[in-house]
Amino acid sequence: MENVYFDSAATTQIREEVVEKMTSVLKENYGNPSSTHSFGRSSKSLIEQARKTVAKILNVKASEIVFTSGGTEADNLALNSAVRDLKVERIITSRIEHHAVLYTVDQLKECFNVEVEYVALDAKGNVDLKDLEERLQGSDKKTLVSLMHVNNEIGNMINLKKTANLIKSYGALFHSDTVQSIGHFNLDLGEIPVDFTAVSAHKFHGPKGVGFAFVRSHSGLKPLIFGGEQERGHRAGTEGVHNIVGLEESIKLAYENLEEEKEYTLELKKHFINELKKEVPGVKFNGECENLEKSTYTLINVCLPLSQEKALMLLFQLDLKGIACSKGSACQSGSEQGSHVLNAFLSEEDKKKPSLRFSFSRYNTKEEIDYVVKTLKEFIEN
């Protein structure tokens, strides 16, 4: 096989229907949405229709959707404003969050002297809710908790509603990075008492460079980017109308086809796990990714029985065979350090072995999985 793409947690292939919709908007709806003439009003109406579409899917108000450049900006918007404007003095998070959260929290600690605590993890990388509750009980400071719904490297999932109810019972704010879950799971944010979430369109077959923040009404959140009054004053800058329409089309199609595509992708994951177990003795599955109830259906993260010396050539050899996968998060690809997620809970012995993340979508096949497993087996045995 010439090209096998198993890196959908980094970014997904855009749907053809989305490309067609965006192309039409680029050609025909070029007015500035802030302009009052008919060209501007036409563009503005597309944005507001997209906002309503997203809000309906998530069971929230259209006014609670703020379009951004993606998940990173949405995370930064919520965390920065919570400290700067909502006077949060303490943040509780975990050491396996995306760096959009971890690095922002570090900056807030340095600039605003925010108290930062990291919730305990178990041996599989799961958040310890008992430890979280003890931390919530242990301080009267205004607190925000930031915990991602689905981990982007190992696929572990928290019970979002249970976690949100626990946090709200102690009067704390709750921010959740839902970049790996919205578009892949039904989330009723009208029923789940989360205050802020972050979403990125390119994780569910939409365009790069666009996403949104869900911001609960009357939160008091202030903008991160200042300028014009776009996005009801929450996010200045002329909107990328084609990108927002692309987000709308991709999230709409994601949920219209959710059950069918979820079932198909889950079968791919099961097949991948079974074939690895059969053909690669000594393989381990990091986190909860082997547990179909506790992890997302979109990825697996495997620890391979290889020496450190041989491991150095693994990704190179896979690339030569046309196989795209990830050593960890794509945002870490330029780093020489190991995965901060795996380093947070793996044993010292397993940290020395190579771990790979394979993430898949509706565009993958079982034949591709068989090819990948065969390639891994040959590399390990030779």
For the chain, how many structural domains are there in total? 2
pLDDT for residue 286: 97
Mean pLDDT to the nearest integer, 333-345: 79
Quote the mean pLDDT of the chain: 95
Q: Which of 33-47, 98-112, 296-310, 326-340 has the lowest mean pLDDT?
A: 326-340
In the predicted model, is pLDDT for residue 329 greater than 70? no
Q: How many angstroms from the chain centroid is the CA of residue 24? A: 28
In percent, how much of the chain has pLDDT > 70?
97
Domain C-terminal end among 237, 256, 275: 256
Q: What would the pLDDT profile of 262-278 be if each residue is shown by its tens digit? A: 999 999 999 999 999 99
What is the set of active-site residues? 331
Q: Half-sphere exposure (CA, 13 Å, Cβ side) for 369?
A: 24
Domain C-terminal end among 207, 232, 256: 256
The answer on 145 and 71 residing in a single domain is yes
pLDDT for residue 112: 97
Mean pLDDT to the nearest integer, 37-55: 98
pLDDT band at 328 (very low <50, low <70, confident <90, very high): low
The answer on 292 and 152 residing in a single domain is no
Domain that holds residue 46: 16-256
Q: What would the pLDDT profile of 57-113 be if each residue is shown by its tens digit? A: 999 999 999 999 999 999 999 999 999 999 999 999 999 999 999 999 999 999 999
In the predicted model, is pLDDT for residue 35 greater than 90? yes
CATH number of residue 358's parent domain: 3.90.1150.10
The answer on 158 and 131 residing in a single domain is yes
Are 146 and 175 in contact, with CB atoms under 8 Å apart? yes
